[in-house]
Amino acid sequence: MLYTLLITGVLLFLVWLLLRHLDKSYFLLAGAKRIQTIDGSPLESKVAVLPGNSIFGNNLDVLNMTPSRLFRFTRDAYAKSKGRNYVWYFLWAPMLNVTRAEDVEEIFQSTKLITKNVVYELLKPFLGEGLLISTDQKWHFRRKLLTPAFHFNVLQNFLEIFKEESLKLVQRLEQSLHIDLPLSHVIPQFTLNNVCETALGIKLDDMAEGDKYREAIHALESVMVERVCNPLLYFQPYFYFKGSYEKHVKHLKIAHDFSSHIIERKRQQFKAGAPAVDECGRKQRYAMLDTLLAAEAAGQIDHQGICDEVNTFMFEGYDTTSTCLTFTLLMLALHGNVQQRCVQELHESLAAADMELSVFDYNQLEYLECVIKESLRLFPPVPFLGRQCTEQSIVNGLILPKNAQINIHVFDIMRDPRHFPNPSSFEPERFLPQNTVERHPFAFVPFSAGQRNCIGQKFAILEMKVLLVAVLRNFKLLPVTRLEDIIMEYGIVLRSQQSVQLRLERRV
């Protein structure tokens, strides 16, 4: 009996020693390998290590959170870290959360840290291996292929589309004077019409499937948000039985059928060598799809690759631009002095009518661009970016194990008081040339930075300028929604829980 107890005691002691040794390299109860420091100093001396709500690391912290609670949870984490980068431990992998411009620079400039993290896997059924998600050689080739589609000369063609859609929006807004207008009823349609005609070369309003497609996009996003807010739904079997799987499949088919139908129609025109014309017999403008079809004819891309890129550009260019425009219009309504300065700039810089303005004319609107940038700083449509270590990596003095996740918190980086004093204040003057000279180059990154920066950022800025010029020339914006009433939500994009509203008066 004594011998048995002695052996048991020795075995337990050896197991304890083994676990203690393993605990130096692994967070055992979280199921993740630990992040180490190059110089061997405690991790807490480099970053904040935020404890979870249970002994299992941070695995249960976000379970069943709503989008608004997820936003608040992330803001609380930043507050607890006191402006430092911080670490979470989740199942199978640690997560480094980067909130400082100085530290994100190394990540953005890395030639190895270009693989997106696990959150982007939720988008794969919809976007496939498009430019947003693909990596390595496929990403490099597609990026090189599509870059000419955003050349200055092509933007000139896009400009005509933006102006036509802005004119239609102004005519619609004329019917909504002196009432509380929810911007969600008008802005998303404007941006989706723009992106469809520029990416696909078709007018969405001219097609019966247009409304169904818009509904499908919204439904797919709602499912994505549901999965982001419940880590268990990342796992396909659980999503199949407990998530909105049938809704996901139904609307995924609608979205894919829509884009495939348009691609096939354009492909037949391309093969026939006939000039593409619309329903009224007018020659169609150049679209990004033309570049992809030429690459298909040269054997450089297949049908699925074209679908992936078209769906990616539509998704990235539709909701993100809509979000930015919504918050920019809100801030103009709330800050009458800023709105008046923009109107004064329009009077001084633009003599021609809207339909006669060139890209050069819009580029002269320096203060309006400052307003857009300040809105992007306060309300970045993409509030965080993700990377994954495909091998053990050294980042800012830290040793990140293979499969470690990196979250780049764009929202927090652009509200750092060291780079933006009074960070919650709306001050477009921050972006006047004389005020940006000494600012850290990675302090303002709404379009990401480095190799994987947004290919369509000039497209987006021009699109927003065209709409804002049209609106400000015709209407005075008055506030209805107040900032203190807004409940922010984290999803695929940053959004408000309630629809942002304002009032319009005809500008005299």
Query: Does 67 share its domain with 105?
Result: yes
Is residue 207 very low, low, confident or very high in pLDDT (cuts 50, 70, 90)?
low
pLDDT at position 464, please? 96
Query: Does 274 share its domain with 315?
Result: yes
Query: Does 69 share its domain with 8?
Result: no
Q: Give the H or E element holding residue 86.
A: strand 86-90
Is residue 223 very low, low, confident or very high in pLDDT (cuts 50, 70, 90)?
confident
Q: What percent of the chain has pLDDT over 70?
A: 92
Task: Read off φ and ψ for residue 197, nearest 5 degrees.
Answer: -75, -35
Query: Does 19 share its domain with 147?
Result: no
Query: Does 26 share its domain with 120?
Result: no
pLDDT digits (tens, 9 = 90+) for 157-172: 889 899 999 999 999 9
pLDDT digits (tens, 9 = 90+) for 266-289: 888 777 775 555 554 555 566 788
Query: Does 4 share its domain with 39?
Result: no
pLDDT at position 20, please? 66
Whether 370 has a pLDDT exceeding 60, the answer reads yes
Q: Can you give the residue range of the structural domain that contains 310? A: 35-506
Evaluate the CA torsion angle 116, 117, 119, 121 in order and state its sign: positive
pLDDT at position 283, please? 54
Q: Give the H or E element holding residue 308.
A: helix 303-334
pLDDT at position 65, please? 81
Evaluate the CA torsion angle 169, 162, 450, 101 in order and state its sign: negative
- Going through 336-404 in order, the beta strands assigned E by DSSP cover 385-388, 393-395, 398-400
pLDDT digits (tens, 9 = 90+) for 18-76: 666 566 777 877 778 899 999 999 999 999 999 988 888 888 888 778 888 889 999 99
Instruction: Look at residues 184, 135, 179 and name the one whose alpha carbon lies nearest to residue 329.
Output: 184
User: Which CATH number do you get for residue 140?
Assistant: 1.10.630.10
pLDDT digits (tens, 9 = 90+) for 313-368: 888 888 899 999 999 999 999 999 999 999 999 999 887 777 788 999 999 999 99
d(CA 387, CA 250): 30
Amino acid 165 reads E
pLDDT digits (tens, 9 = 90+) for 415-432: 999 999 999 999 999 999
| pLDDT, average across residues 106-119 | 92
**Residues annotated in a binding site:** 454
pLDDT digits (tens, 9 = 90+) for 456-475: 899 999 999 999 999 999 99
pLDDT at position 23, please? 67
Is residue 391 very low, low, confident or very high in pLDDT (cuts 50, 70, 90)?
very high
Whether 229 has a pLDDT exceeding 60, the answer reads yes
Q: What is the DSSP string of 209-232?
A: THHHHHHHHHHHHHHHHHHHT-GG
All residues at 6 or more sequence positions from 298 whose CB lies less than 8 Å from its CB, including other chains: none
pLDDT digits (tens, 9 = 90+) for 301-319: 998 999 999 888 888 888 8
Q: What is the DSSP code (8-state) at residue 466? A: H
Contacts 24+ apart (CB under 8 A), 385-390: 385/410, 385/448, 386/116, 386/117, 386/118, 386/119, 386/120, 387/107, 387/113, 387/114, 387/115, 387/116, 387/117, 388/115, 388/116, 388/117, 388/118, 389/113, 389/115, 390/112, 390/115
Whether 296 has a pLDDT exceeding 70, the answer reads yes
Q: Are 143 and 455 in contact (CB under 8 A)?
A: yes
Q: What percent of the chain has pLDDT over 90?
A: 55
Query: Does 115 share its domain with 140?
Result: yes
Question: What b/e readout covers 300-321, taking b as 16+ CB neighbours within 10 angstroms?
Answer: ebeeebbbbbbbbbbbbbbbbb
Tokens linked to 326: 């919504």
Is residue 113 very low, low, confident or very high in pLDDT (cuts 50, 70, 90)?
very high
**Residues annotated in a binding site for heme:** 454
Q: Are 47 and 84 in contact (CB under 8 A)?
A: yes
496 or 235, higher pLDDT: 496
Instruction: Look at residues 84, 90, 78 and name the one whose alpha carbon lies nearest to residue 47.
Output: 84
Query: Does 4 share its domain with 104?
Result: no
Query: Does 1 share its domain with 112?
Result: no
Number of domains in the chain: 2
Query: Does 359 share its domain with 466?
Result: yes
pLDDT digits (tens, 9 = 90+) for 123-182: 899 989 999 999 888 999 999 998 888 877 778 888 989 999 999 999 999 999 999 999
Query: Does 16 share its domain with 40?
Result: no
pLDDT at position 280, please? 47
Average pLDDT, the chain: 88
Q: What is the DSSP string of 94-148?
A: EEEEE--HHHHHHHHH-SSTTS--GGGGGGHHHHTT-TTT--HHHHHHHHHHHGG
Query: Does 108 share its domain with 242?
Result: yes
Whether 454 has a pLDDT exceeding 80, the answer reads yes
